[in-house]
Structure 1
Amino acid sequence: MGCVTGFATKIGSSIGAGVLGVLLSASGYVGDMSLIPDSAVMMIRSLFIIVPAVLWVVVAASLLLYKLDKLMPQIMRNEEKQ
């Protein structure tokens, strides 16, 4: 199971880095420029502030919909009957 988790982490990291590079490139970012365009600065701010905030909201919403704690007593009763 650990090797699957490690593999998934590597795949996710590589996809995330690729998407990051594509988005920065689309915003006009070039690494060897002395002046970074405003669009690239806005993209960097978005990628480090707005995107994580949206993802945290999605995680919080999914945790509010998490019902296993409420169902656990019934699951335990069903397991004891079997």
Structure 2
Amino acid sequence: MLGIVLEITGGLSATALAYLFPAMAYYKLCAGPWYSRQKLPAAACTAFGVIVMFLSLILALKKLWNGEGGAGKVCE
């Protein structure tokens, strides 16, 4: 169970640190409307990061529901 919790926490925080925070900071620093040529790569990276975060969460929860990851196997 701890492995699943760590996987969810790690996946969400790594995605936020790698994709979301830098892209949103760049987006905030650039001037112009949201659809401007300067802000478009940051918006695309943020959208990709949200997709990766969602998939990471879904795959970790799927592992939990399927009983993968050694849950319930304390002693052999």
Structure-2-length-normalised TM-score: 0.40
Structure with greater helix percent: 1
**Structure label with greater radius of gyration:** 1
Structure-1-length-normalised TM-score: 0.38
